[in-house]
Structure 1
Amino acid sequence: MHVSAARNTAAAFALVGLLLAGAAPVATATTAAPAPVALAAPDIPLANVKAHLTQLQSIATANGGNRAHGRTGYKASIDYTKAKLDAAGFTTTLQQFTSSGAIGYNLIADWPGGDANQVLMAGAHLDSVASGAGINDNGSGSAAVLETALAVSRAQLQPTKHLRFGWWGAEELGLVGSKYYVANLPATERAKFSGYLNFDMIGSPNPGYFVYDDDPAIEKTFKDFYAGLGVPTEIETEGDGRSDHASFKNVGIPVGGLFTGASRTKTAAQVQKWGGTSGLAFDRCYHSSCDTSTNINDTALDRNSDAIAHAIWTLSTEPTVPPGDFYENLTDVTVPDNGAAVTSTVTVAGRTGSAPATLKAAVDIKHTFRGDLVIDLLAPDGTAYRLKNSSTSDSADNVIATYTVDASSETANGAWRLRVQDVVARDTGYIDSWKLTF
């Protein structure tokens, strides 16, 4: 994990909505698409993941004690990973770049098949710092992603989406490899990504179970897995923006991932949830020479490896949304009288290319003086499309209308928000529901 990049502000995305029998909605977004019926993921053998870590430790030991960018240990790590993937039937590509006067490499592996216009990618950085072998940071994520890819091959998985895996170079120098990869993706290729999953430090010796909260559908997939194990999770904050998912998030690609903690100390409350030792770092060997093959918690590594497979199988085999279907949010949102703007979110996923020139936004807002309201549609990149201005002469109740927006300059996938503000005192209301039709 990169040591010094600034934390990115988490996107204010809403969770995918579900209805519990006899209960109120517990989340916010719904869609007319059928409920996903994904194939069950296989158990990822811990012994296989640890065998990869043994190889990475041996490589570091034979090459000056590290696997850092520009060092022979890094290139040997890339060669080892590539050979495994080539033998398993992946199409691999070495992407070369230069940083700090040294040549670096990204390794990209594509699994044949799946919709090339819907790419699901999982990745991890393969480089260590110069001071150690980097077995938790980030041999753990690299080995688990590798073994998940090999499990895809063993199962001869035929996903709905196209599967791609990546191992990044020079992450420890500032996310250099992943930034290079994303910068060299044409805009048309970026638009094909349905998600990027990042795994950086998933076997910390005093582990926590942290989930990225960037994309609601991806976040829910991981949380559902851990709920099934009876293991509580927390939102990841220590490394937010400090690993390779930031390179993808910054260009609008939905991201998610897992993390077991780095230099922060585990609290007593976290020990109650997860066990371990209070007052000690999640990884006391973070960026140190003691980050060796003994610096791994097997239980955390095993659980997270299985979680990766669960996400890959679930997200890559779910049914897609046909053209013309809609995305709807049925959860009420109170609009404060003469107050700050509020938003309601629908998350669009599984589409290709740009939004249509005739994107339809249907709104149902209950309000006792609709002239008080200013309404905007916010695209995933934050661009605002004005749907309605305020008007002191418009004294009727409610806004129940469908607006057509030319959104052809916007990527279809992402979190779309309806923003509503009451700009005059006295009357009140709420967003009842709204939907986008593509």
Structure 2
Amino acid sequence: MKLSARLSALAGASALVLGAFAGAAPAATAAPTGTAAVTPPDIPVANVKQHLADLQSIATANGGNRAHGRSGYKASIDFVKAKLDAAGYTTAIQQFSYNGSTGYNLIADWPGGDPNQVVMSGSHLDSVTSGPGINDNGSGSAAILENALAVSRAQLQPTKHLRFAWWGAEELGLVGSKYYVNNTPSTERSKIKAYLNFDMIGSPNPGYFVYDDDPTIEQTFKTYYAGLGIPTEIETEGDGRSDHAPFKNAGVPVGGLFSGADYTKTSAQAQKWGGTAGQAFDRCYHSSCDTTANINDTALDRNSDAIAYAIWNLSSGSTTPPAGTVFENTADVAIPDNGVAVTSSVTVTGVSGNAPSTLQVGVDIVHTWIGDLVVDLVAPDGSVYNLHNRTGSGTDNINQTYTVNASTEVANGTWKLRVQDKASADTGYISGFKLTFP
């Protein structure tokens, strides 16, 4: 993460994300009807750690760092490129000049997939001059390298085209990634449907932070962690200060993971994640002690697997679901008698732009007096669309499809059916909730 991130102070602890997926397994997440589950491989953390050991050896042999303009950086680029060339990737070195020195980006494309729909993963490979940069950012670089090699081992044939990148001179102001974005024609940039950024994912006192930029990418990572029973927080400290920023500014959907830098872990964060409250997530941030001893193996393992989950899922399927695609949740949710509101949730993914003006909302509620019920559709941004407001008196059950003009809402994200019983003596449950895109 670039040096100016040290100057960014938190206004407060990041908000704990407790959404509809907290504690739920990824398999329970509603998916488009008829689509098969995508099962990524387990990424061997031992392999990722071996890449980090190799980067450490490179730094040790080259003055203790892998910084822009130094021999250690060029040796790092050559090391990664050789691995990818042997695995069947088409690689290219992109050169740029900064501060009187030549910088290098490495771009690797996996053969196949729709070239008009690119899922791209990137990490900066350079360190600061004061240390070898094993967490910052050997961790992200090694994790996407091992994910790229896993794609090759699986001989994956995704619907979308996969691209990986290792950026130079990030620590000097996102120089390499800016160069790539600025020198990629707009027609080619528009083909990048997701850019995933990984900058510091093995911090020794780790947190689990998710970028909140694109809702589909964000929810993909949240769903993975929810399956592990791990709450996440929104990444705020480094927002716009790593290599996703140039892509975001160019209109590319972005997302990513982060395990924390030099700000302090709170007591609440230590309670849910473990580790030590009152200490920095990474006490060796931008220091000579950012070595292979500065890595939390559990965080590195989890984040490496989360990357695989995102790559495998985001590169499968089409960008826009066909007409009539259904996102459905059939799990029963009890409605407390004269009690608090409850929700059933579905996550919409892979839909470009906004929801339609004729969004079909299917509601299946079993209840002995529907005149007690208030039923709302809640959009991903919290907007509320009332569907049923205590009408029907003593009629049993609601089994109805409502048409909602949701054209002002971004389609992708978590939608909720919210139901509250506002009178006594009758009971019921939500039996089903679905959204159909016409």
Asked if these proteins are the same fold (TM beyond 0.5), I'd say yes
The two structures have a TM-score, normalised by structure 2, of 0.70
1:362 maps to 2:361: no
CA distance in 2 between counterparts of 1:160 and 1:250 reads 26
Distance 1:241 1:360, change over 3 A: closer
Q: Who is 2:4 aligned against?
A: 4
> Which residue is 1:409 aligned to?
none
Contact 2:351 2:411 in 1 (8 A): no
SS of the equivalent of 2:93 reads strand
Structure 1 residue 109 and structure 2 residue 108: aligned?
yes
Check whether the contact 2:168–2:176 (CA below 8 A) recurs between aligned residues. Answer: yes
SS in 2 for 1:294: helix
Residue 313 of structure 1 corresponds to which residue in structure 2?
Answer: 312
Q: Which residue of 2 aligns with 1:43?
A: 42
Are residues 1:128 and 2:127 paired? Answer: yes
Structure 2 Cα separation of the partners of residues 202 and 102 of structure 1? 28
Describe the SS at the equivalent of 1:317.
Answer: coil
**In structure 1, distance between residues paired with 2:46 and 2:355:** 52
Q: Does structure 2 conserve the Cα–Cα contact (< 8 Å) formed by 1:37 and 1:318?
A: no
Residues 136-145 or 186-195, more deviating: 186-195
In structure 2, give the amino acid aligned to 1:362: S
In 2, the alpha carbon distance for the partners of 1:88 and 1:265 equals: 40
Deviation readout 1:412-438 (Å, 9 max, x if unpaired):
x9989xxxxxxxxxxxxxxxxx9998x
**Equivalent residues in 2 for 1:293-304, closer than 5 Å:** 293-304=292-303
Letter in structure 1 aligned against 2:175: V
Which structure 2 residues correspond to residues 194-273 of structure 1 after superposition, within 5 A?
A: 194-273=193-272
- The Cα of 1:324 is off from its aligned counterpart by 6.5
What TM-score, normalized by structure 1, do the two folds share? 0.70
Q: Is the 8 A contact 2:318 2:350 kept in 1?
A: no
Whole-Å Cα distance in 1 between the matches of residues 219 and 404 of structure 2? Answer: 31
Structure 1 runs of 4+ with >2 Å offset: 33-39, 318-328, 346-351, 359-364, 399-403, 413-416, 434-437
Deviations 1:182-212 (A, max 9, x none): 1111111111111010000000000001111
Give the distance between the partners of 2:66 and 2:317, measured in 1 at CA.
37
In structure 2, what residue type is equivalent to 1:187?
S
Pair 1:281-2:280 in alignment: yes
Q: Is the 8 A contact 2:124 2:141 kept in 1?
A: yes
> Offset at 1:49?
0.3
Aligned residue for 1:78?
A: 77
Q: Does 1:90 align with 2:89?
A: yes
Give the letter for the 1:196 counterpart. Y
Which string of whole-angstrom CA distances, capped at 9 and with x for unpartnered residues, describes residues 355-381 of structure 1?
Answer: 9xxx996379xxxxxxxxxxxxxxxxx
* C-alpha distance in structure 1 between counterparts of 2:144 and 2:98, whole Å: 25
Q: Is the 8 A contact 1:194 1:349 kept in 2?
A: no
Q: Which amino acid aligns with 2:101?
A: A
Give the Cα separation in 1 of the matches to 2:70 and 2:323: 52
Aligned to 1:118: 117
User: What amino acid sits opposite 2:286 in the alignment?
Assistant: H
Match in the other structure for 2:391: none
Whether the aligned pair in 2 keeps the contact of 1:65 and 1:132 (CA below 8 Å) is yes
- Find the residue that maps to 1:203 and give its secondary structure: coil
What is the deviation of 1:320? 4.0
Deviations 1:2-51 (A, max 9, x none): 122697xxxxxxx9x999xxxxxxx9xx99x6565342011111110000
CA separation of 1:99 and 1:360: change in aligned 2, threshold 3 A: same
Aligned to 1:188: 187
Write the distance in 1 (CA, Å) between the matches of 2:405 and 2:315.
Answer: 36
Q: Which runs of 5+ in 2 are unaligned?
A: 9-16, 22-28, 328-346, 360-402, 414-434
How far apart are 1:317 and its partner, in Å? Answer: 1.4
Q: Read off the aligned partner of 2:357 and give its amino acid letter.
A: A
Conservation of the 8 A alpha-carbon contact between 1:106 and 1:167:
yes
Is residue 38–residue 315 contact of structure 1 (8 Å, CA) maintained in 2? no
Gaps of 5+ in 1: 8-14, 20-26, 329-345, 365-398, 404-412, 417-433
**Counterpart Cα distance in 2 of 1:136 and 1:101:** 27
Partners in 2 of 1:272 and 1:264 — Cα distance? 17
Contact preservation (8 Å) 1:254, 1:414: no
Distance 1:347 1:245 in 2: 23
Identity of paired residues, percent? 69
Aligned to 1:384: none
- State the 1:247 CA deviation: 1.1
> Within 1, Cα distance between the matches of 2:125 and 2:71?
13
Q: Which residue of 1 aligns with 2:156?
A: 157
How many residue pairs match? The answer is 339
Query: Structure 1 pair 259/282, CA: closer, same or farther in 2 (3 Å)?
Result: same
**Counterparts of 1:238 and 1:402 in 2: how far apart (Å)?**
33
- d(CA) in 2 for partners of 1:285, 1:90: 34
**Residues in 1 aligned to 2:199 and 2:34: alpha-carbon distance in whole angstroms:** 30
CA drift of 1:347 comes to 8.4
Q: Which runs of structure 2 are paired with 1:167-178 in the superposition (5 Å)?
A: 167-178=166-177
User: Aligned partners of 1:361 and 1:435: how far apart in 2?
Assistant: 10
Query: Is the partner of 1:154 in helix, strand or coil?
Result: helix
SS of corresponding position for 2:138: helix
* Alpha-carbon distance in structure 1 between the residues aligned to 2:219 and 2:349: 15
- Structure 1 residue 319 displacement after superposition: 3.8
Is residue 66–residue 129 contact of structure 1 (8 Å, CA) maintained in 2? yes
Pairwise CA RMSD: 3.3
